[in-house]
Chains A and B, each alone.
Chain A
């Protein structure tokens, strides 16, 4: 469909600053598409293709450690 070709369908780029991340798991627990996982006490982007760019992880990260583009 035409809508699927729009710019907003570009795959999300999720970046985690592991130096600032304190591993609270808030982003992992409340991601509606289950894109994130914990690894070694820090957030890890496991399934970026599933991301719908709802931005909730970025908005709720207390450590300024996660961004979604």
Chain B
């Protein structure tokens, strides 16, 4: 048994998320990773924008900042630059980070500032009523795509890799132990690190796409997730309809706040 209660604001429970929503599973994986790494609750800041995923800070007993739509990364950048010693975690969603906050997302990755971003990808705008998000799959139904979505989706991890992030991983809420490991690695990484978490939304996405039961969405995850190692050995035909999870990129490159500190040292007038 893991004691989550020391990390949560119990007065806010039961939480607002719908029955079967994956967001609670991600939060628990994050709490276990934080505990394993011994991150101090007083020296950790969680920043979020707007959306279902962005309700997360309300439930964790650390320093939290619930900001404006899409701007979580901008606020987090400010927090990190003001006090680089803090662990800054950004919790955001597919709509928040890649539509409204798309520019903040690519530029935070390009800048390679030491933030850990947990991006809950549920393929939809859940809170506002099931509108298409930038990751809604082609052909899927949404309240703004009554006859099926015509647009191709963003590959969020691919976007972060292309934009210059130093650590990019993808996890899912069915394989929870793996998710916990990936979050732990992201928290330890010095640089912009993203964990894209595929998390089901039975209410806004599932009900419109013949997966109204939360169990059905979890089964679909179980059947479509492939590890990066196995992915490499698969043919294009076998990869159809599947996606890979694991570490997609992990490189070393200059980190923004470290470079900034060096610049301050360099500019300091000599005694």
Are A and B subunits of one complex?
A: yes
> Could you tell me the distance between the alpha carbons of A49 and B208 in the complex, rounded to whole angstroms?
39
Would you call the interface of chain A mostly helix, strand, loop, or mixed? loop
User: How many residues on chain B are close to A (CB under 8 Å)?
Assistant: 27
A26 at the interface (CB under 8 A from B): yes
User: Which positions in B face A, CB cutoff 8 Å?
Assistant: 1-2, 4, 8, 13-15, 17-25, 28, 173-174, 176-177, 202, 213-215, 218-219
The 8 A CB mask of A28-53 against B (1 = contact, 0 = none) is 01100000000000000000000000
Number of A-B residue pairs, CB cutoff 8 Å, is 61
A24 close to B19 (CB less than 8 A): yes
B19 close to A23 (CB less than 8 A): yes
> Could you tell me the distance between the alpha carbons of A58 and B19 in the complex, rounded to whole angstroms?
15
Chain A interface size, as a band, is: 20 to 34
User: Which positions in A face B, CB cutoff 8 Å?
Assistant: 19-20, 22-26, 29-30, 56, 58-65, 67-69
Which residue of B2, B20, B215 contacts A62 across the interface (Cβ within 8 Å)?
B20
B1 close to A30 (CB less than 8 A): no
> Closest residue to A66 on the B side, CB-wise?
B1
A62 close to B24 (CB less than 8 A): yes
Which residue of B4, B214, B219 contacts A64 across the interface (Cβ within 8 Å)?
B4
> Could you tell me the distance between the alpha carbons of A25 and B218 in the complex, rounded to whole angstroms?
11
> Closest residue to B59 on the A side, CB-wise?
A64
> Could you tell me the distance between the alpha carbons of A25 and B19 in the complex, rounded to whole angstroms?
9
> Could you tell me the distance between the alpha carbons of A69 and B22 in the complex, rounded to whole angstroms?
23
In addition to A58-B1, A62-B17, 18 A-B residue pairs with Cβ atoms within 8 Å of each other are: A22-B14, A22-B18, A24-B20, A24-B202, A25-B20, A26-B218, A29-B215, A29-B219, A56-B176, A59-B28, A59-B177, A61-B24, A62-B23, A62-B25, A63-B14, A64-B13, A68-B1, A69-B1
